[in-house]
Structure 1
C-alpha cells in the first residue's frame, strides 16, 4: 500500500483540526442556544404563574375554584401552546385547559422537560399558595416543538459547516503544503542529479525558508565533503597507479631481459635480488595502504601503556644519529612528559617525522624534538631548520602520496608519500591533532595529545 505523501498528511491534519474546532464551536453554540431557550421558557412560565396565582387567589377548594373556572379558561385561551392542569391537595384533577393531557405529569416542583407522542414539552409545577402546606398544585405545560425544530436545524447546519470547512481546509492545506514543500522537492531534484560528474551543484541557501535553511546548509556541506572525498579518492587511485607503474614496469623489463638468453647462476641471483627489492617496496606500499584503510574505518585501536616520551624520543634520535652525522645535522631533544599510549604506533609516527626532517635539513642544520606538558595536554614538536614550505602547500602535506618536493621520484622505495598520512592517522587514533607551520627558517610539525589518551 502506497504511503500517504507529506502534503496529503498535512492537508488531512489541517482538515481534522478545522473539523474539531468547528465541531467544538458548534456544540458550544448549540448548548448555549438550548440554555437560552430554557431561560426564556422559565421566564415565560414564571410570568404566567404569577398571573394564575393572582387570578386564583383564595380558591383553595373545588367550590371556590369552580367560580373562577370561566376566568381561568379565558386566561389560558390567549396562549394556545400553553396548557394548565390544576390538581387538588388530595391528588384529584380540578381543571385541564386542554383535552387528553397525560395522567403521569411530574408533580415535583420545578421545571422539567417531557416528551409525549412526538411532542416536546416544558413542564413547570408549583403550588397555588406557596405559604400553605395543603395548597392545590398548578402544572403548566409549554409546547416547545418549535424550539426543538430550531435546534435540529442548528445541528444540521453545524454538521454541514464542519464538513464544508474540513473539505475547504483540506484543499487549501494541500495547496499550501505543496507550495511550502517546493524547496524540499528542489532539494530532492538536486540529490537525484548528484553523480560523480555533478558534485558541484548546490542549493541556494538564501532562497530557502528559515526552517529549511539549516537543512540546505547541511546538505551543501555534505555535497562539499562528498566532492572533496571523491576528488581525493580519484587522486588517490591515480597516485596508486602512478606509484605502482614504475616498479611493475621495472620488474617486467628486468625479467624479460634476463630471460632473453641463458645466463650464469650469478646473473640470475643478481636479477632476483633486484626484483626482490622492488617487490619488498611494493609489499610495504600495500601494507601502508591497508594501514590507512583501517584508520579510515576507525579500526586503529591503540594499546594503553605508560610511556616516557623523553626516553622514546632519545631511542629514535640514537637510531637516526648515524644518518644525521653523515648529513652533518645536529639532533637535540628538549623537555619530557609521560603519556599513556601505544608504543609502537607513536614510535612509527615520530620516526616518520624525524626521517622527513632529516631529508629536508641542509648540512650544518638542526633537528629538534620538543616535549612539553601543558595544562590542556601534551605537546610534541619536531622541527628542522632549512628552507620553508610555501603557505599554499601546508594544507596538502598530509594527503596521501603528496610530496612537497617537486622532484618526484616515481617508485622510490624510500619516499612513497604516505609517511605523514600515517602519522596523522596515528595521532588521531590517540585523540590528538597534528599540524604544520613553516617560517623564519624553520619547519615545525606540532602534535597535541590529551594527557590521558
Structure 2
C-alpha cells in the first residue's frame, strides 16, 4: 500500500482529535441532559406523591375518588396505579397502563408499547407495613425523543466537524510544510556542479530554522569535501605526472640505440629512484585512506614522551648542525600509545620545523603534563605563516612554500596530513599558530591510562 503523505497524516490526525473531542463533549452534554430530566421528573413525581397522599387519607370516603381525579387532571401525562398489600390492583387512572409493573421502591424507567415512563413506587402510608402501594407513571416519551434527536445531532456534529477539520488541517499542513517542499526542491537540485545552493534561514519557522541551518551546514561540508576531493585528484595527477614523464622520457632515450651495460645500469638506478618515490607516495595515500575510514588502530604501550622526543632530536642533530639550528626539549610526560606512529608524526613535525628555520634559528619542543591530558608543542623561529594559510597546512599535497617543486621525491605535501591522522587516531587534536616570528604546532593528547 502507498504510504500516506505527511500532510494527509496531519489532516487525519486533526480530524481524529476533533472527532474525539466533539464526541466526548457531546456524550457529556447528553448525559448531563438525561440526568437533568431525571432530576426534574423525580421532583415532579415526589411533589405529586405528596398531593396524592393527602387526597387518599381516607381511601374509603366518597370524596377520595373525586379528589384523586382532580389531582391527576392537573398533569395530563401523569398516571396512577394503586395496588393493595396483597398485590391486587385497586385502581388504574388509565386503561393504557402496562399490565405488569415492578413494585421496587424508588425511581425507575419503563419502556412498554412504544411509550416510555418514569416510574415512582412508594407506600400510601409510610408508617404502616401493610400499606397499599402507589405507582406513579410519568410519560417521558417527549424527553426520550429530545435525547434521541440530541444524539443524532451529536453524531452529525462529530462527522461535520471532523470533515471540516480534515479539510482545514490539510490546507494548514500543506501551507506549514511549504518550507519542507522548498528544502526538497533545493535537495533535488543539488549536484556536483551546484553545491552552493542554500536555504533562506531567515524566512523559516522556528521549528524548521534549526533544520535549515544544519541542512545548509551539510551542503557547506559537502561543497568543501567535494572541492577538496577535486583538488586532491588534481594534485595526485600533478604529483605523478612529472615522475611518469621522466620515466618514459629516460627509458625512451635509453632505448634509442644500443648502449654499454653500465649505461643501462645507471638508467635503471635512476628509474628506481623515481619508482621508489612513487611507491612511497602510494603508501602514504593508502595510509591516509585507512585513516579516513577509521582503520588506523594504534597499539597501546606505555611511553615516556620525553624519551621518544630525545631519540628523534638525536636523529635530526646532524641536520640541525649543518643548518646551525639549535634544538631543545623541555618537560616530560607519560602516556599510552603507538610508539612507531607517534614517532612518525613527531618526525614529520621536526623535519618541517628544521626546513623552515633560518640559519642560527631555534627549534624548541615543550612537553606539558596537564590534569586532563598532556600537551606537546614544537615551535621554530622564522618567517610567520599567513593566517589565511593556517587552516590549509594539513591539507593533502599542500605546500606553504610558493616555490613548489613538481614531483619532488623529498616532500610531497602529505607529512602534516599524515601527522593529523595519527594524532586523531590517538584521540587528540593538532593545530598551528604563527605570530611574533614563531611558528608553533600544538598537540593535545589523552594519556590513555
Contact 2:58 2:64 in 1 (8 A): no
Q: How does 1:325-364 map to 2 (within 5 A)?
A: 325-364=321-360
Partner SS for 1:47: helix
Give, in angstroms, the shift of residue 439 of structure 1.
2.2
Tell me, in whole angstroms, the C-alpha distance in 2 between the residues paired with 1:337 and 1:85. 108
Residue in 2 that maps onto 1:219: 215
Q: Distance in 1 between matches of 2:121 and 2:70?
A: 21
Correspondence for 2:46: 46
| TM-score, length of structure 1 as denominator length | 0.96
1:391 partner SS: coil
How many Å separate the matches in 2 of 1:173 and 1:186? 20
- State the match for 2:22 in structure 1: 22
Q: Which residue of 2 aligns with 1:261?
A: 257
TM-fit CA distance, 1:79: 3.3
Report whether the alignment pairs 1:186 with 2:182: yes
2:37 corresponding residue in structure 1: 37
| 1:156 is aligned to 2:152 | yes
- Deviation track 1:265-297 (CA, whole Å, cap 9, x = no partner) reads 111111111100000000000000011111111
Segments of 4+ in structure 1 off by > 6 A?
A: none
User: Partner residue of 1:439?
Assistant: 435
The residue correspondences of 1:311-330 to structure 2 (distance < 5 A) are: 311-330=307-326
CA distance in 1, matches of 2:243, 2:194: 35
Q: Which moved more, 1:74-83 or 1:10-19?
A: 74-83
Task: Select the residue among 427, 432, 445 that pairs with 1:449.
Answer: 445
SS at match of 1:140: strand
1:392 aligned counterpart, secondary structure? coil
Matches within 5 A, 1:299-310: 299-310=295-306
| Partner residue, 2:392 | 396
Deviation at 1:394, TM superposition (A): 1.2
Q: CA deviation at 1:67?
A: 5.3
Alignment partner of 1:430 out of 416, 426, 430 = 426
CA distances 1:122-165 after superposition (whole Å, capped 9, x unpaired): 11111112122222211111111111111111110000000000
Shift of 1:65: 5.4
Deviation string, structure 1 residues 210-241 (Cα, Å, up to 9, x no partner): 11111111111111111111111111111111
Distance 1:441 1:78, change over 3 A: closer
Q: Out of 115, 125, 131, which is 1:135 matched to?
A: 131
Match of 1:366 in 2: 362
**Would the aligned equivalents of 2:10 and 2:173 in 1 still touch at CA under 8 Å?**
yes
- Output the aligned Cα RMSD: 1.4
Larger mean Cα displacement after TM superposition, 369-378 or 141-150: 369-378
Tell me whether 42-51 or 173-182 shows the greater mean CA deviation.
Answer: 42-51
* Structure 2: stretches of 5+ with no match in the other structure: none
**Segment drifting more, 68-77 vs 4-13:** 68-77
Establish whether residue 271 from structure 1 lines up as the match of residue 267 from structure 2.
yes
Gaps of 5+ in 1: none
Counterpart secondary structure, 2:366: strand
1:351 CA displacement: 0.7
Quote how far apart the aligned CAs of 1:78 are.
4.1
